[in-house]
């Protein structure tokens, strides 16, 4: 178990280093940072002096080492655009994205799993067919279209929910939350549905197909033959056996939710990291871009690590494998 | 007065409604099993053996359904019970053993958890009491170090050991009947005999009736008291095991036993029955066996024979009908 964890941590470190390399290459070779930072009238000597001060004349390897070292200490330099440390920009934006992504994920899981179980057990009921048709919409429509549709119906036509922004937020330490005010919660609804709909349908369909498969197995037949009740069979025995692939997908999708938040945040003008990233791209604000890249990659790796550890917790067969490895 | 049979099946009929008409997979099947008796069920693949067992325990998968007949367990009719009542019969009064012990147990739960869960579904016991009983059962089915192994997962057990666990599960509420559907087919040859012996001993000690479905005539010869031979959803012959094996009355049974004795009663060479069993969609008129039967005559193609008494058995063949002497000449 320990060896398993250590090996996973090691792999995670490799992935992070690779991403860091990409972020660094981006940082260094996309345009000249000096040009971004100074005005037209800066003299060549001044530019050279700045270049020297920023360490841009050092050997590439030294610069990469410094980049890693700084990133590991959570220091991504100064934004070209707003001339403030990137980390403080992220600190301002992260809570918005985090709350949005988490709400979307909860929406996807809390609705997707029961719908998947229901449609798996009651294959031919009309409600199952309704769920599946709705989920087809979720899969086939692009995110921005869903967002615009929701805005049109609930903000423009019905006027019951806001179409942009976070509403009122409460500041708790360094964290701003929209979860404590009515307007904040209302503002969260449409973006969270938009962001989570695809994942919800994915979870529904995955749980359904897994349930169908598991319900055919011998051990489910045997569980029934032992006289266990429907609840015990469907939830205790069947659902648990569907969890491994479901957790994998949910884990991967959690990363995707954070990454796709870019689109949703743009549609709803949600003041999160995705919107920050889009603005950074428009202004070639490379420190912000590479910080975003590293952060998203870090979240992906972290989630994967958690998923792997969850496997071990759920499936005793992996436990054995992990012990031997 | 004869004792009540543990299981009595009367004119059981299992149907599958399909788009192209109704398939009759089990047709007019009747038999009894006495307490402590082992009834072997044999027949080619697709004869309806498993479906008969599945129908008895009430686990037919829709659209399959019991379309007729009665199933009586220890005097109580069970084929028309409501769902919830039937659930309490399963596992408590009828235990089941499937073919493949590797897949019968849920891989994610400890062996003990699965036994305790089953015990507590049927008997009013605390977790502790159920655990103690589970350990007793595991010892009884011959698991070494049961106190320790009860906390093992199925993948930590060998195939033979898992089938012992499955036996413990089937027996955990002291059922009246055990349905064992090819309980040793998936096992290593070297341990098949042990498992069958164990099954037989445990059931005899308890007076549990056993419905033993198998392809293995050796197992039948050693274990069963009586045998039912199934063909295309019907019973072709049913009788005491020695009679069915040594001097079968139905030509199909004789073929199944691996040799076709000539009419004079002397054994010829060993032959397999030529041809194969008809599909459910194409069961021939008259005796379902007639296209493959070396003795078929006119009547066999016109009329379907019902089970008729002959010696200590019943056979569904015109050859054993009282007037068959003329027919044969
Ligand atoms: N869901 C179904 N729909 C239609 N026909 C079915 C269905 N399930 C089983 N059958 C048919 O019922 C017949 C009997 O099947 P059953 O499983 O009882 O055979 P069996 O005697 O146990 O054979 P085996 O020795 O291979 O286990 C087969 O011909 C099979 O094709
Ligand atoms: S009834 Fe006729 S066809 Fe059928 S087994 Fe007897 S002799 Fe053969
Ligand atoms: Mg079968």
Same domain, yes or no: A223 and A129 = yes
Q: How far apart are CA B167 and CA B143, in angstroms?
A: 11
Q: Which of B263, B296, B313 to mutate to test the pocket of ligand 2 (most atoms within 8 A of CB)?
A: B296
Query: pLDDT digit string (tens) for A16-40?
Result: 888 888 888 876 776 666 776 676 7
Residue A302 forms part of a structural domain: no
* CA geometry: angle A115, A121, A122, nearest 5 deg: 85
* Strand ranges inside chain A, DSSP E: 170-172, 175-177
Q: Looking at residue A157, which CATH number applies to its domain?
A: 1.10.3720.10
Query: pLDDT digit string (tens) for A107-130?
Result: 999 999 999 999 999 888 899 888
Same domain, yes or no: A30 and A116 = no
User: Could you tell me which chain B residue has the CA closest to the CA of A232?
Assistant: B117
Same domain, yes or no: A129 and A65 = no
Same domain, yes or no: A20 and A154 = no
CATH class label, B1-81+215-290+309-329: alpha beta
Q: How far apart are CA A141 and CA A131, in angstroms?
A: 16
pLDDT at B288: 92
Is the CB–ligand 1 distance for residue B95 below 6 Å?
Answer: no
Which of A18, A42, A72 is where one domain is finished? A72
Same domain, yes or no: A94 and A22 = no
For residue B177, the SS3 value is strand
Angle at which helices A2-29 and A316-324 pack, to 10 degrees?
80
Q: Which residue has the tokens 């308890």?
A: B206
Same domain, yes or no: A113 and A257 = yes
CB-nearest to B104 from A222, A232, A240 is A222
pLDDT at B2: 63
CB contact under 8 A, B91 and A227: yes
Q: What mean pLDDT do residues B258-267 have?
A: 46
At B290, list the tokens.
């007639």
- Looking at ligand 2, which residue's alpha carbon is closest to its atom 6? B317
Q: Is B92 on the interface with A (CB under 8 A)?
A: yes
* Distances, alpha carbon B152 to alpha carbons A318, B1, B223, in Å: 14, 49, 31
The number of folded domains in chain A is 2
Same domain, yes or no: A153 and A59 = no
pLDDT at B269: 42
Is the CB–ligand 2 distance for residue B295 below 6 Å?
Answer: yes
User: Could you tell me which chain A residue has the CA closest to the CA of B89?
Assistant: A227
Query: pLDDT digit string (tens) for A180-195?
Result: 888 888 889 999 999 9
Look up the domain containing A174 and give its range. 89-282
Strands laid side by side in the B38-42 sheet: B94-97, B177-181, B209-213, B38-42, B226-231, B234-240, B313-315, B308-310
Query: pLDDT digit string (tens) for B169-209?
Result: 999 999 999 999 998 888 888 888 888 999 999 988 999 99
At A156, list the tokens.
């423009």
Judging contacts by C-beta atoms under 8 Å, the chain A residues touching residue B104 are 218-219, 222
Same domain, yes or no: A178 and A229 = yes
Q: Which residue has the tokens 């032992």?
A: A226
CB contact under 8 A, B96 and A222: yes
Which of A282, A303, A319 is where one domain is finished? A282
Q: B115, B137 in Cβ contact below 8 A?
A: yes
Nearest bound ligand to the CA of residue B20: 1
At B181, list the tokens.
């559907």
User: Could you tell me which chain B residue has the CA closest to the CA of A228?
Assistant: B121
Same domain, yes or no: A141 and A241 = yes
Q: What would the DSSP string read from start to end of B242-273?
A: HHHHHS-SSHHHHHHTTEEE-TTS-EEEE-PP
Residue A253 forms part of a structural domain: yes
CB contact under 8 A, A316 and B57: no
Q: Is B82 on the interface with A (CB under 8 A)?
A: no
Judging contacts by C-beta atoms under 8 Å, the chain A residues touching residue B109 are 237
- What phi and psi values does residue A131 have, to the nearest 5 degrees? -55, -45
Residue A292 forms part of a structural domain: no
Minimum-distance ligand 2 atom for the alpha carbon of B297: 2
CB-nearest to B106 from A223, A227, A314 is A223
What is the percentage of chain B residues whose pLDDT exceeds 70? Answer: 93
Which of A39, A72, A105 is where one domain is finished? A72
Mean pLDDT rounded to a whole number for chain A: 84
Give the pLDDT band of residue A319 (cuts 50, 70, 90): low
Query: pLDDT digit string (tens) for A59-98?
Result: 888 888 888 888 888 888 888 778 889 888 888 888 999 9
Is the CB–ligand 2 distance for residue B290 below 6 Å?
Answer: yes
- Give me ligand 2 centre to Cα B212, in Å: 26
Residues with CB in 5 Å of ion ligand 3: B 50
Is the CB–ligand 1 distance for residue B48 below 6 Å?
Answer: yes
Q: A219, A237 in Cβ contact below 8 A?
A: yes
Query: pLDDT digit string (tens) for A142-170?
Result: 888 888 888 898 888 888 888 888 888 88
Residue A293 forms part of a structural domain: no
Q: What are the residue ranges spanned by the domains of chain B?
A: 1-81+215-290+309-329
At A88, list the tokens.
């403080």
- Give me ligand 1 centre to Cα B216, in Å: 18
- Give me ligand 3 centre to Cα B50, in Å: 4
Q: How far is A320 from chain B (nearest CA, A)?
A: 10
CA A237 to centroid of chain Cα atoms: 30
- Looking at ligand 1, which residue's alpha carbon is closest to its atom 5? B16
Q: Which residues contact B289 (CB under 8 A, 6 or more apart)?
A: B231, B232, B236, B250, B251, B252, B296
Q: How far apart are CA A72 and CA A155, in angstroms?
A: 43
Same domain, yes or no: A108 and A205 = yes
Q: A49-53, A74-78, B249-253, B276-280: which has the minimum mean pLDDT?
A: A49-53
Q: How far is A248 from chain B (nearest CA, A)?
A: 17
pLDDT at A325: 35
Same domain, yes or no: A106 and A30 = no
Residue A160 forms part of a structural domain: yes
* Distances, alpha carbon B271 to alpha carbons B47, B231, B259, B296, in Å: 20, 18, 5, 17
In this prediction the pTM is: 0.79
Q: Which residues contact A213 (CB under 8 A, 6 or more apart)?
A: A242
Q: How far is B183 from chain A (nearest CA, A)?
A: 13
CB-nearest to B121 from A217, A227, A241 is A227
Same domain, yes or no: A200 and A239 = yes
Residue A127 forms part of a structural domain: yes
Is the CB–ligand 1 distance for residue B234 below 6 Å?
Answer: no
């Amino acid at each position: 178990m320990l060896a398993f964890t250590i090996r996973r941590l090691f792999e995670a470190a490799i992935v992070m280093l690779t991403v860091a390399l990409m972020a660094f290459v981006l940082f260094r070779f996309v345009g000249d940072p000096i040009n971004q930072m100074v005005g037209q009238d800066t003299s060549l000597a001044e530019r050279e002096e700045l270049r020297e001060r920023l360490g841009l004349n050092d050997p590439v390897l030294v610069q990469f080492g410094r980049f890693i070292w700084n990133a590991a200490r959570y220091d991504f330099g100064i934004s070209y655009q707003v001339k403030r440390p990137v980390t403080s920009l992220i600190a301002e934006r992260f809570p918005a994205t985090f709350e949005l992504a988490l709400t979307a994920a909860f929406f996807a899981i809390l609705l997707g799993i029961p719908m998947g179980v229901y449609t798996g057990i009651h294959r031919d009921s009309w409600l199952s067919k309704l769920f599946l048709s709705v989920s087809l919409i979720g899969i086939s429509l692009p995110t921005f279209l869903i967002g615009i549709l929701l805005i049109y119906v609930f903000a423009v036509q019905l006027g019951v929910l806001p179409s942009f922004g976070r509403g009122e937020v409460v500041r708790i330490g360094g964290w701003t939350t929209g979860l404590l005010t009515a307007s904040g919660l209302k503002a969260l609804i449409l973006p969270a549905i938009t962001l989570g709909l695809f994942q919800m349908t994915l979870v529904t369909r995955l749980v359904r197909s897994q349930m169908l498969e598991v319900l055919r197995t011998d051990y489910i037949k045997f569980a029934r033959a032992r006289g266990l009740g429907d609840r015990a069979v469907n939830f205790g025995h069947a659902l648990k056996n569907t969890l491994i692939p479901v957790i994998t997908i949910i884990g991967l999708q959690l990363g995707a939710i954070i990454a796709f938040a870019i689109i949703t945040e743009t549609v709803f003008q949600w003041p999160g990291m995705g919107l920050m990233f889009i603005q950074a791209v428009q202004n070639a604000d490379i420190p912000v871009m590479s910080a975003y890249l590293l952060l998203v990659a870090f979240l992906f790796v972290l989630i994967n690590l958690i998923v792997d550890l969850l496997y071990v917790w759920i499936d005793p067969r992996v436990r054995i494998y992990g012990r031997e490895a | 007065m004869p004792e009540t049979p543990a299981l009595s099946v009367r004119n059981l009929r299992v149907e599958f409604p399909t788009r192209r008409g109704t398939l009759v997979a089990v047709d007019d099947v009747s038999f009894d099993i006495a307490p402590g008796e082992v009834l072997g069920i044999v027949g080619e693949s697709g004869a309806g053996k498993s479906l008969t067992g599945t129908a008895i325990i009430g686990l037919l998968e829709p659209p399959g359904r019991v379309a007729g007949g009665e199933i009586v367990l220890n005097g109580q009719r069970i084929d028309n019970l409501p769902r919830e009542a039937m659930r309490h019969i399963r596992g408590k009064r009828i235990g089941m053993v499937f073919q493949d012990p590797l897949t019968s147990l849920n891989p994610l739960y400890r062996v003990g958890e699965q036994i305790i869960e089953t015990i507590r579904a049927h008997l009013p016991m605390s977790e502790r009491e159920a655990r103690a009983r589970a350990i007793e059962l595991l010892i009884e089915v011959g698991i070494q170090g049961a106190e320790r192994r009860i906390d093992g997962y199925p993948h930590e057990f060998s195939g033979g050991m898992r089938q012992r666990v499955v036996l413990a599960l089937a027996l955990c509420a002291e059922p009246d009947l055990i349905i064992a559907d090819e309980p040793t087919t998936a096992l290593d040859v070297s341990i098949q005999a042990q498992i069958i012996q164990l099954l037989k001993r445990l059931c005899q000690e308890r007076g549990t009736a056993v419905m033993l479905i198998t392809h293995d005539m050796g197992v039948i010869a050693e274990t069963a008291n009586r045998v039912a031979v199934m063909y295309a959803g019907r019973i072709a012959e049913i009788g005491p095991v020695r009679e069915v094996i040594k001097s079968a009355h139905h030509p199909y049974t004789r073929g199944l036993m691996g040799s076709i004795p000539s009419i004079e009663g002397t054994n010829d060479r060993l032959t397999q029955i030529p041809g194969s069993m008809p599909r459910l969609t194409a069961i021939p008129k008259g005796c379902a066996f007639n296209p493959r039967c070396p003795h078929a005559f006119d009547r066999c193609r016109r009329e379907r024979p019902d089970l008729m008494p002959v010696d200590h058995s019943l056979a569904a063949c015109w050859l054993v009908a009282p007037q068959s002497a003329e027919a044969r000449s």
